[in-house]
């Protein structure tokens, strides 16, 4: 078997513990207006290719020494790592049996019953929450947030270490009211998770040009360090565990 990926990125340090290989898997049910990996939203573009599972496993085994000495491992990312559930399951089962440390980055839009057995084999789950208001979530990402909120609650109960990541964007969710809504939801429904606030960046813009896609809305702004500290303090005051993997 196999699946569609953009790339394997070795020596990553931002996507879990230690030195990691990130597998960027293709396809995504969302279409976020600020997406920094627009090539990952579909399987049909020149930056996506099919790989056999065995070829990925061989490449991972070549990197094993780095994981062993750094406490690192493998991170499934995207696009959306859950968009090819069978491919993800096959890779997860194989790597889990071989004792690798596994992490996943997901947008949260997935069928919980299908994914739960795979998620239980992770050492760390990063799940995004982009907006607490479902209408605004739909406006900016193409889907409402009800399934994502439900999946945050259910996944937090799996007993796997979990971090909810909020991409923080002035003009989308970077205001006190929205942040407060997100923090209250988490402290009520998933108090055990870590929270990571990630400031918006514009690193993906060159990819939009390469793909001939419209650039993200120019009114989206990067929050200042002071604004990020302010929201991190608000989250701590709400009782949340604020973490950073960057
Ligand atoms: S969930 Fe991630 S990959 Fe999918 S559209 Fe949004 S930012 Fe892009």
Give the up-direction half-sphere exposure of residue 11: CA atoms within 13 A in the CB hemisphere: 0
pTM of the model: 0.95
* Domain ranges, ordered by start, for the chain: 2-242
- Ligand 1 neighbours, Cβ below 6 Å, are 28, 30-32, 35, 37, 40-41, 78-80, 107
- 111-131 pLDDT, tens digit per residue, is 999 999 999 999 999 999 999
Name the residue of 5, 26, 40, 77 to mutate for ligand 1: max ligand atoms within 8 A of Cβ. 40
Rounded Cα distance, 110 and 131, in Å = 17
φ, ψ of residue 178 to 5 degrees: the values are -65, -45
Rounded Cα distance, 78 and 22, in Å = 9
- 60-111 pLDDT, tens digit per residue, is 999 999 898 899 999 999 999 999 999 999 999 999 999 999 999 999 999 9
Q: List the structure tokens of 78.
A: 């995207």
Domain with residues 2-242, CATH architecture: Alpha-Beta Barrel (3.20)
Instruction: Work out the end-to-end distance of the chain between its first and last CA atoms, rounded to an integer number of angstroms.
Output: 34
- 195-216 pLDDT, tens digit per residue, is 999 999 877 777 777 777 777 7
pLDDT at residue 133, as a whole number: 98
CA of 78 to the centre of ligand 1 (A): 8
> Which residue puts its alpha carbon closest to atom 6 of ligand 1?
32
Closest ligand 1 atom to residue 29 Cα is: 4
Q: Which residues contact 222 (CB under 8 A, 6 or more apart)?
A: 170, 199, 200, 201, 202
Q: Higher-confidence residue: 141 or 13?
A: 141
Compute the average pLDDT of residues 175-186.
98
Q: What is the CA radius of gyration of the chain?
A: 17
pLDDT at residue 38, as a whole number: 87
């Amino acid at each position: 078997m196999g699946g569609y990926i953009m790339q394997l990125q070795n020596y990553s340090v931002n996507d879990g513990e230690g030195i990691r290989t990130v597998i960027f898997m293709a396809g995504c049910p969302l279409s976020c207006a600020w997406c920094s990996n627009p090539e990952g939203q579909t399987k049909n573009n020149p930056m996506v290719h099919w790989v056999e599972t065995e070829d990925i496993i061989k490449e991972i085994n070549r990197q094993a020494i780095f994981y062993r000495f750094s406490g690192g491992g493998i991170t499934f990312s995207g696009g959306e790592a859950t968009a090819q559930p069978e491919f993800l399951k096959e890779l997860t089962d194989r790597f889990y049996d071989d004792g690798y440390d596994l992490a996943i980055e997901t947008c949260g839009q997935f069928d919980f019953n299908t994914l739960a057995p795979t998620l239980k084999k992770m050492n760390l789950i990063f799940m995004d929450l982009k907006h607490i208001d479902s209408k605004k979530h739909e406006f900016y990402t193409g889907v409402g947030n009800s399934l994502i909120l439900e999946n945050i609650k259910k996944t937090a109960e799996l007993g796997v270490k979990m971090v909810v990541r909020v991409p923080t964007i002035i003009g989308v969710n970077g205001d006190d009211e929205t942040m407060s809504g997100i923090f209250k939801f988490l402290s009520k429904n998933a108090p055990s998770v870590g929270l990571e606030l990630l400031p918006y960046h514009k690193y993906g813009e060159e990819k939009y040009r390469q793909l001939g896609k419209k650039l993200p809305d120019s009114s989206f702004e990067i929050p200042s360090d002071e604004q990020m500290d302010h929201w991190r303090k608000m989250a701590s005051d709400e009782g949340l565990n604020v973490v950073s993997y960057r």
